[in-house]
Each structure stands twice: as structure tokens, then as C-alpha cells.
A and B are shown apart, each in its own frame.
Chain A
């Protein structure tokens, strides 16, 4: 992995709208920040999901349009929150879920 490449991608991002916060009773709260990314191949949209429960978990959802992104954010935040909680429980239960 080339760190320089990542920084370049991040620097292209332009945040749009305000951060959203999804608070869930069965999982950690998820903060969502939306981005519009203008590159050589046109415009695309992405949302960054951040959950903070015993460490920061991060994920990115891509979409072709702002409408599609809007439709994806809520289920993505819900599923992200649930899966973070499930992994925490699995780790608390003892044995690691995957081979080291």
C-alpha cells in the first residue's frame, strides 16, 4: 500500500453538508460525513462512517449520485453499527473469529 496515494485521495475530498449522527440502541452511534469527489473520471459521491466504541472503526460507502448516497446512508449506518457491536461481543466472548 502506498501511503502517498491515500493522502492524495483524501485531499481530493470535499465535504458536503453537515455531519450526521445515527444513534442506535443496539449498537454504537455512527457519525456520517458525506463527500463529493471530483476526479479525472467525473464526479462521484462517498460517505465516511465512523463508530467509536472501544476504538475507532471506519468505513466508506461509494455512490454514483447524491440520491443514491442518501438512500444508502441510513442502512449502511445501521448495518455498520450492528456489525461493530457484534464483533465487540465476539471478541469479548474469547476466541478470535479469524486465524491470526
Chain B
């Protein structure tokens, strides 16, 4: 019996091709015949079940062509053993015993295809291998992309931007999306870094047909990061009872989004660097690296340059991520986007919650625009969802919005109103602004409580008398909210009291 081995069908540069095919058959004549039609692949040969299992342990294999009759085992038994441990390999059964019963049994056991040994099938073997690879790709996609329904809608959020900075980011993204350049997205939590990554993936040409795999590095326990990203072999460590594909292999042909990359452990940084440099990934415990074609989009809310200087992030990895580094501005620096975002989010979440989409009044939108949004788009989204749940279909007024989101607008009103008063000193302007803010805030709270001052006092943690006093303090010369807004729209304060 010939010894098993690797028949390296290398290209002219002596570089191995990407796809590996393991042919398991005890007939040398069959091996030779099939080899003629598999020249486009890296081919491995096994003449019995034991050799096949050894090769699977040592080498990266994409497709197995398996005979049902083997000297030391049956093809079906071997298929069951492979399926129990691995889900990244497609198996094509090829046999001279091509009864329907065998075919059904093998397909039920997890074989991709069942072929009779015939000259026609030998000629078509490469086509069957390609179909198996396509099937594997679709299977991975099906698992990974179940939650992709809202993707195209989310892209609208980005394209509706009125911020010059975001428009510039859009322009850069459109230029680099079809290339395989790595991208680093910087920005505070909740600014939509993953959305940008998905946007790049969606516009990345052929790559967009493959998987987009998001991984939050910061949310993973440090001891699981390597295993999750790079996968592991069976028995690589205690508890590794079966082989597991890493995220890189799941994203093969597509895009891997590494969120919070600044949290990556030094050991994992080395491995990531190797993937970026050499485009191959080594599972923990594997004897051989597997080639991967993955575009990496990383994101961070840290200053990675400082991390490099502090020695916590590898400089060579940093240079590879620094090719396209995009700073996403926080929502407070692109307030012109807020009304559009509110409308889109309201529409989207109302549909998903089977409610009627609410409209936001102008004063409500003013309040939301004035707010600083430390939690960025995520915080805005949460508030919109809350409003849909509490006020389905109704117009959302400023009084419907929780007070903490209105503080900025109320203080703006107070400052604006105070600045219009004919005052002589800064001290009196300050006192007036404070008094007016208290008035507007207390009145807002009373309105939220449907005019119930006792309830407003309870919520504010003050006495009923305080609420009453703050509301009574209003001078007749003070502008009411509508007048302030009309004046604000008209132009800057002139310092002349209009009332």
C-alpha cells in the first residue's frame, strides 16, 4: 500500500493553493485518476481511515472525498467520526456501491454529496468540490447573517448625515470599501462604529457576499480570546472536546470586525499581526496554519497611539491598522443629524415593535438636539424606543421626554431669556438665569405631572411650597417658551427686552 502524503499541487511560484482536498480511498488507481482532475487544489491522499484521521489532525482540509469501503473502517463510520468533531469540512462520498439506501444514510450522517464511481463523475469531481465549498460558505453565512435584516436600513442612518465630518468619512469609506485595506474606526461608545464597519462590508464588492463577523474583544474573558478568534483543535486544552472554528475562519472571504481592539491581550496581538501579515491562521493546538482571506476592520474607544507609547499595544500591529484610521465624531458634534436619526429610528423600531411610529414635535426635537448625548446614538435609540413604548402613535411633546434630556434646552432658554434682559451687571444676569432655569425646569416637571404640583414636588425631592414659589417667581417681563424660540430663530440677542 502506498504511503499517505501530501501531493502539493503548487502553482508556478511554489505557493500552495488555498483549498485543500483530502482523498480517502484504498485504490491507488482511483487516487491517480482523481488527482488529474484536482490539479487546482492542494491534494492530500489517505489510503485508510487511520491515515485520514492523522492527516485531518495535522493539516487544514476543506473538502474530503471519501470512499465507503476502507480497509480498516467503513466510510460511513469515518464520516460519523468526522462530523462528531468537525463542522468545517465538507464530505463527498464516492463509491461503487451507489445504492439509494447508502446515499440516504450518508446524507443523513452529514455528507454533502453522494457519487457513484464513474468516469463522468471523475471528470466532474472539481465541480463537485466547488459546489461543496459553496455549500459550506452558504452554511456559514446562514448562521452568521440571521440578524442582518436591519442592515440596509441602518446604512440610511449614515447616508442621511448632515455633518461635514461624517460626509467626509462617507466619502473615504466609499473609496476604500472595494479594496482589502484594513480599517481602524475610532470613536466613543455608541457612535455607530459597527454600523460603519457593516457599511464598508456592504460596499466591498464580492466580499460583501460573504460573512460579516463582529467580535467584541472587550466583552470576552482574556483566556477565551485566542480560542474564539483563532479556533482550537480537539484536545488542545482541557475542555476542548471537539474542534472549533475561530472567528477568522468563519469570516473567510468576508470581513471580521474587531471591536475594542485596544483590549486585545499581547499574545493575541502577536497572532493577529501574523494573520494580517501572512494571511493564515493557526488554531490552538494545530500543527499547520490554515490560509484565510479576511479583511479586518478594528474599532476602539481608546487612544491607541497612547497605548503604543505606553507599550500596551504592538507598534507593528498599530502600523497595519493605521492605513485608514477614521475618527467618528460623537453625536454632540453632529447635532444637525439628530432630527433625521430620530425619525428613522422611530420608524424602524415602531415597525419592529408592531406599533405606530410616533412623531416628535418641534419643541421635543429642540430638546433632543440641545442634549449632549454622552451615550451617543445608542442612547438616542434607547430613548426613542422608550417613547414608542410609552406613547405609541401619539405626537411626542417636550413634556413627554424625561426631564434629564430637557435640561440643556431649558438652560438654553433661561440663558437666552436672561441675556435679553436689560441688566447692568454680570451678577444680576447670573441671578436671573438661575431663577429662570428653576422656573422653566419646575414648570416642565409640573407639566409632565399633568399640572399636579404635589407629584412634581415629590419627583423633584422638594416641598410643595418650593414648587409653588419657583413657579410664582416668574416676572411678567420673562418670555414664555414659544417667544424665546421665536426670538432664538430670529437671531442673536440684542440685549433689548422685547416685552
- Bound pair: A and B? yes
User: Any chain A CB within 8 A of the CB of B322?
Assistant: yes
Cβ-defined contact, B316 with A6, below 8 A: yes
Number of residue pairs spanning A and B whose beta carbons lie under 8 angstroms apart: 108
Cβ-defined contact, B316 with A76, below 8 A: no
User: Any chain B CB within 8 A of the CB of A61?
Assistant: yes
Among residues of A, the one whose C-beta sits closest to the C-beta of B179 is A75
Cβ-defined contact, B324 with A98, below 8 A: no
Among residues of A, the one whose C-beta sits closest to the C-beta of B184 is A83
CB contacts under 8 Å to A, within B69-105, are none
User: Any chain B CB within 8 A of the CB of A4?
Assistant: no
**Do A61 and B165 contact each other (CB < 8 Å), given the known contacts A79-B175, A98-B302?**
no
CB contacts under 8 Å to B, within A48-63, are 48-49, 57-62
Q: How far is the CB of B321 from chain A (nearest CB, A)?
A: 8
Q: How far is the CB of B115 from chain A (nearest CB, A)?
A: 34
Interface centre among B15, B302, B325 (most CB of A within 10 A): B325
Cβ-defined contact, B277 with A90, below 8 A: no
Cβ-defined contact, B188 with A49, below 8 A: no
Cβ-defined contact, B301 with A86, below 8 A: no
User: Any chain B CB within 8 A of the CB of A17?
Assistant: no
Chain A residues near B168 (CB-CB < 8 A)? 82, 86, 89
Cβ-defined contact, A72 with B180, below 8 A: yes
Chain A residues near B333 (CB-CB < 8 A)? 93, 95
Which residue in B278, B315, B324 is a CB contact (below 8 Å) of A80? B324
> Would you give the 0/1 interface string for B304-333, flagging 1 where the beta carbon is closer than 8 Å to chain A?
001010011111100110111111111001
> Would you give the 0/1 interface string for B164-190, flagging 1 where the beta carbon is closer than 8 Å to chain A?
010011011001100111000011100
Q: How far is the CB of A3 from chain B (nearest CB, A)?
A: 8
Among residues of B, the one whose C-beta sits closest to the C-beta of A91 is B327
Cβ-defined contact, A79 with B187, below 8 A: no
User: Any chain A CB within 8 A of the CB of B436?
Assistant: no
Cβ-defined contact, B319 with A59, below 8 A: yes
How many residues on the B side are at the interface (Cβ–Cβ under 8 A)?
Answer: 44
Chain A residues near B329 (CB-CB < 8 A)? 90, 97
- Docked Cα-Cα span, A76 to B329, in Å, equals 23
**Do A58 and B319 contact each other (CB < 8 Å), given the known contacts A98-B188, A98-B303?**
yes
> Would you give the 0/1 interface string for A62-80, flagging 1 where the beta carbon is closer than 8 Å to chain B?
1011000000100110111
- Docked Cα-Cα span, A6 to B13, in Å, equals 29
**Do A86 and B169 contact each other (CB < 8 Å), given the known contacts A72-B180, A98-B301?**
yes
Q: Which residues of B contact A (CB under 8 A)?
A: 13, 15, 165, 168-169, 171-172, 175-176, 179-181, 186-188, 266, 276-279, 300-303, 306, 308, 311-316, 319-320, 322-330, 333
9 A-B pairs besides A6-B316, A62-B276, A87-B327 with CB distance below 8 A are A62-B320, A64-B15, A76-B179, A79-B324, A83-B172, A86-B169, A90-B165, A98-B188, A98-B300
Sample 22 A-B pairs with CB under 8 A, ordered by A number: A1-B314, A6-B315, A44-B277, A48-B319, A49-B323, A58-B322, A59-B319, A59-B323, A72-B179, A79-B175, A79-B176, A79-B324, A82-B168, A82-B175, A86-B168, A90-B329, A98-B188, A98-B301, A98-B303, A99-B302, A100-B303, A100-B306
Q: Which residues of A contact B (CB under 8 A)?
A: 1, 5-6, 9, 41-42, 44, 46, 48-49, 57-62, 64-65, 72, 75-76, 78-80, 82-83, 86-87, 89-90, 93, 95-100
